[in-house]
Amino acid sequence: MQGQPCLADSATTQPSFSPPRDIARAPEPPAGATRSIDDHSFIGAGRFEPPRYAFSLVRTRVIQSFAAAGPLPKVTTVVAPTGYGKTVLMTQLHALASAGGAQCSWIGIDDREADLPVVLTLVEHALGLARLDLNTASVEDPRGSLPHRVDRLVSHLAGRRVETVIFIDNINSCTDPGLALLLDALVFRTPGHVRLCITSTAPIPFDAGRARLEMKLRRITVSELGFDSGTTEAMLRASGLDHLSRENIAAVVAKTEGWPAAIRLIQLILSNESDAAEGLEHFSGADADLAALLSRRLIASFDPDLVAFLHDIAELRGFSVELALAATGNPRAGHWVRFLVERNVLVVPLDRGQTWFRFHGLFRQFLVADAAGRQAPERRREVLGAATDWLLAKGDRSYALELALNVPLPDRVSGILEQLARPMVRDRGDLATYTQWVEQAKTLGITLGLETLLWYAWALVFNRHYERAGAALDQLAGRIREAEPDGDGKSPLWSPYRMAQIIVNFHLDRIHAVRAEAPGWLADYPDAGTFDYAAVAGAYGIACAVMHDFPTARHALRLAQDSIIRVRSDYGFSWVAAVSAVVELLQGDPVEAERNLREAEEQVRSNIGDSAAIVSVLTLGRARAAADTGRLAEAVEMVKQGMDRGIEQGILDTAWFGIEVALACPGDGEAPSDTATLQSLARRYARRLPFLVDLALIRCALRHGRTADAFDKAESLAIWSRPAAFHPGTLADLTAMERTAAIFAGIDLLMAAGTLKEAGALIEQELKNALDTGRRRDQVELHLMQTALMTRLGNQDGAIKALARAVVTAAKRGLLRPFLEQRDLVLQVVGETPLKKFGLTLPADLAFFNRVCDALGVSPASVRPQAVDADGYIVEAPTPREIELLQLLDSGLDNSQIASRLSLSVPTVKWHLYNIYSKLGVKNRAGALAKARALRVLHRP
């Protein structure tokens, strides 16, 4: 299942691979070594506190307006391109809020935080919330627990009784489409005393329109961030440029158009100019001149040793004196760092102790480009190699890997990836960065280790790139064979690969492959992790159910249940309940399915919360169970509640349950208005689901008289050709579930085309299969199809017997829905038949028959109103449909004309006439008309 209910999420890792001897490993940090940046917990300089600028911050118009307004608004957004002082402004807002007594939390994000799980971990850490989902070794989709973690975060904030302000800098670095889940929760679900301030270079993904209506929202853009003459003068004079005239300052504003970064650069340049006016003449103010300005006016004025030092450290996203010294070997490293800080050369201290620094983004961008043209490649490799080694010694493997890939340093990359694989994918959910690094390593031709490939495959699975995950596993298998050239494929080294392969095949809906591979893995690794075993056994159970091998499916289900019962896991229990529901519903026991699902759902809601992802998945299963037992309105409401997240987080079969209920055709005969949406949702999964949806649409169209639409759709699926040919041969390679759905659609198509003999043969054939496999729901549908067929053939006794068999079969499992879907047919037969003719004798069968009658508002013929004819004999009163038919008879229409007028087949008209003659005690239409007039149910004008 995707998300928590995702099958992959129910698995646990086998013992980690031991890297082959030929894979270089990064050195472990020495005992007791301190970490300048804690790689595991994301504690790093500049992440959880605002920058400490060495220069005095100018009080702009914007900050003055905030100071005058009192407490910060509920939401403040600062959106502008790089260089407009967004972080500077938010640093000032942080100081303002802190001075006002608010509890402030700062989260600084950069381009390494592309995934929502990573950003959420940073927010949790900043607010003092420890991760609770790391106490198991499970291969758990880090995205699956996001809703629960967000709920927990909201609950934590609601419990605070003081003003709280959360500052998130550079949220644009997170490109995860699920970011709105976190931001909307922080904006709309937290109390008023919890405030949010966010900066970004791109539009921020939250419901800004709703926020404007419901709360105070302050939106800061370029127009407010630009410097005016007063602000520019204050900044320049604060830096010691007291000699500038007002004309000089006006020229600065005009040339830079108030762009703060450009003004700061001009300030640096003019600090070394004797003639400010002449210095300004060389700067046009255009963005394209920025690099030339830096090169010609700033860098050119620096000591050559400083320029070389800047080139050396340009690619370091953050640096300290220690790192710079170790990387460059320059004994003046400490001096040059102090020089840059004291001169405010676009260097930002990241911590209170001013140990770690970073360059302003625009300045670093220029330095990297300038170094590329002036620094010898050997020198670059030497410096970055030394930096990589220093970072590894300090334990900062992520930063080290980033540098090692950029150089590149293949001998270091492979070993570092092996160490980072599990913590990045499983612990942090840093899927995008890890995937990018692995693919970058592959492009460089670096040999990847077993752990790297395994977690690369899992990262792809979690992002639903199943085909690519399969390719990664193929590569992993090749590496294992190299490590064990004489192995039999059953050693512990193969276990993680084989399990992952089963999971990938399951998500790709390769049902035959799952059935072939899962039994061997279950037999070879009986002592595998609890969740692993339950995941594989559950996948095997569903695969067998889809193939209508229910005895084996139930055996696999018992294996999953026996495994998961050994641990107390709500998610594991829910996974097994979902597997059980698939088996029960496909075989036709909605009552048992709903019992298991309800029990699991109540447990999850109680222990985890209503928003746990798996609740939506369980809800879709319950919706199908409710629909099958006739509670259609309740089922539709469940689908509305659980559809979006249930589809996103579920597996194919639970998604089918929800979509199938949503596709239930309304009574007006029109196709569901959201059919296109449902088809789009189905296409997120393997081809089995879109195919099942198309087959359901065919039957829906036929049920409501849209025959041409049904024939067109069937032809597009290659199961039908006009005028009346069903092609079961095209179904040979499909699963049993697909074949059955296609055959049911084929029977309906043949009936609509009037090819009754072929339809009857298919019904008999499929009914035998349904009986052999114990598919009760399908048996009920097939008996009702026989009822329709007998009606069309004018075989009243055959129709009554078929309907009775449907009732007896359905009564055992409360399967009311098939009768509701065949409403007109059941009304016709029941309304024309005395109760005793159905031959129902068991109390349970009679009780269920009464449920059907009550649901449809019909009663058997023997208990309907009666009339007395002119001779004093009691006769059964004709139904409204029969009176309508008598009126058409009285108009002189023949059977064919009546059939056309009433949109019925000629055999159905004959059926009605037979019943009328029997009720009225006559033998022909003339007698029927005479008796109807005598009973005063037919009047001539």
For residue 762, being part of any structural domain is answered with yes
Determine the pLDDT at residue 258.
63
Q: pLDDT tens across 802-830, in order?
A: 999 999 999 999 999 999 999 989 999 99
Mention every residue, 6+ apart, whose C-beta is less than 8 A from residue 806. Answer: 780, 783, 784, 787, 818, 819
- Domain assignment present for 210: yes
> Helix, strand, or coil here: 6?
coil
Distance, CA of 268 to CA of 765 (rounded, Å) = 88
45 assigned to some structural domain: no
Range scoring the smallest mean pLDDT among 72-76, 498-502, 700-704, 870-874: 870-874
pLDDT at 15 > cutoff 50: no
Highest averaged pLDDT of the listed ranges 235-239, 504-508, 581-585, 933-937: 581-585
Q: Could you tell me the CATH number of the domain that includes residue 145?
A: 3.40.50.300
User: What 3-state class would DSSP assign to 113?
Assistant: coil
Instruction: Judge whether 174 and 119 are in contact, CB under 8 Å.
Output: yes
Mean pLDDT lowest among 520-524, 697-701, 863-867: 863-867
Nearest to 421 by CA among 434, 405, 408: 434
Question: How does pLDDT run across 457-477, given as a tens digit for each residue?
Answer: 999 988 888 889 999 999 999
Of 220, 259, 223, nearest to 84 by C-alpha is 259
* Rounded (5°) CA angle 399-402-406: 145
Helix (H/G/I), strand (E/B), else coil: 136: coil
Strand locations in 512-617, DSSP E?
Answer: none
- Assign 558 a pLDDT band (cuts: 50, 70, 90): very high
CB of 349 within 8 A of CB of 54? yes
Please give the Cα distance from 417 to 455 (Å, whole number).
10
Q: Residue 44: CB partners within 8 Å, gap ≥ 6?
A: 37, 38, 318
Does residue 218 share a domain with residue 72? yes
Distance in angstroms (rounded) separating the CA atoms of residues 229 and 246: 9
Higher pLDDT, 684 or 295: 684
Average of per-residue pLDDT values in the chain? 83
325-345: pLDDT as tens digits: 999 999 999 999 999 888 777
Q: Is residue 875 part of a domain?
A: yes
584 has pLDDT over 50: yes
Count of domains in the chain? Answer: 3
Q: In terms of Cα–Cα distance, which of 363, 346, 364, 350 is closest to 320? A: 350
Asked whether the predicted pLDDT for residue 271 surpasses 70, the reply is no
Q: Which of 835, 862, 889 is the last residue of a domain?
A: 862
897 and 924 co-located in one domain: yes
* Residue 287 falls inside a structural domain: no
Cα 141 from Cα 211, distance rounded (Å): 31
Considering the domain architecture, whether residues 850 and 743 belong to the same structural domain is answered as: yes
**What pLDDT is attached to residue 440?**
94
DSSP H helices in 683-775: 688-703, 707-716, 736-753, 756-773
Q: Which residues have a Cβ under 8 Å from the Cβ of 600 and sit 6 or more positions away?
A: 573, 574, 576, 577, 578, 618
Cβ contact 16:451 at 8 Å? yes
Residues 91 and 189 in one domain: yes
Does 826 share its domain with 904? no
Last residue of a domain, one of 862, 877, 904: 862
Percent pLDDT > 90 in the chain is 46
pLDDT of residue 229: 74
CA separation for the pair 389, 323 (Å, rounded): 10
Structural domain boundaries enclosing 822: 707-862
The model's pTM:
0.73
The two counts, helices (H) then strands (E), for the chain are 45, 14
Domain boundary among 827, 862, 897: 862
pLDDT band at 933 (very low <50, low <70, confident <90, very high): confident
pLDDT digits (tens, 9 = 90+) for 359-400: 877 788 888 888 988 899 999 999 999 999 999 998 889 899
Asked if residues 541 and 553 have their Cβ atoms less than 8 Å apart, the reply is: yes
851 with 891, same domain: the answer is: no
Lowest mean pLDDT, pick from 139-148, 348-357, 369-378: 139-148
Q: Which carries the bigger pLDDT value, residue 88 or residue 516?
A: 516
Tell me, yes or no, whether 845 and 886 share the same domain.
Answer: no
Could you tell me if 844 and 878 lie in one domain? no
Same domain? 881 vs 849:
no
Distance CA(812)–CA(307), nearest Å, equals: 86
- Kindly report the CATH number assigned to the domain that includes residue 815: 1.25.40
Cα angle 934, 940, 941 (rounded to 5 degrees) comes to 145
Residues 905 and 764 in one domain: no
β pairing state of 347-349 and 356-359: antiparallel
Q: What local confidence, expressed as pLDDT, does residue 939 receive?
A: 63
In a domain, 34, yes or no: no
Across 85-89, 250-254, 329-333, least confident range: 250-254
Averaged pLDDT for residues 897-910: 80
Q: How confident is the model at residue 275 (pLDDT cuts 50, 70, 90)?
A: low
| pLDDT category of residue 631 using cuts at 50, 70 and 90 | very high
Residues 799 and 873 in one domain: no
DSSP per-residue letters across 408-469? T-HHHHHHHHHHHHHIIIIII--HHHHHHHHHHHHHTTPPPPHHHHHHHHHHHHHTT-HHHH
Mean pLDDT is lowest, of 32-36, 97-101, 348-352, 643-647, for: 32-36
Instruction: Assess if residue 795 is contained within a domain.
Output: yes
Packed helices 146-158 and 179-188: angle between N→C axes, nearest 10 degrees: 20
Mean pLDDT of the 40-68 span: 73
pLDDT surpassing 80 at residue 254: no
pLDDT at 138 over 60: no
Q: Is 29 within 8 Å of 394 (Cβ atoms)? A: yes
Residue from 416, 347, 400, 409 nearest 381 by CA: 409
Q: How confident is the model at residue 876 (pLDDT cuts 50, 70, 90)?
A: low
Tokens of 362: 């625009």
Confirm whether 87 is domain-assigned: yes
Rg, Å, the chain Cα set? 37
| Integer Cα distance of 797 and 414 in angstroms | 77
Nearest to 719 by CA among 693, 747, 757, 700: 747
Q: Are residues 800 and 836 in the same domain?
A: yes
What is the C-alpha to C-alpha distance for residues 417 and 437, in angstroms, rounded to an integer?
8
The span from the CA of 142 to the CA of 123, in Å, is 15
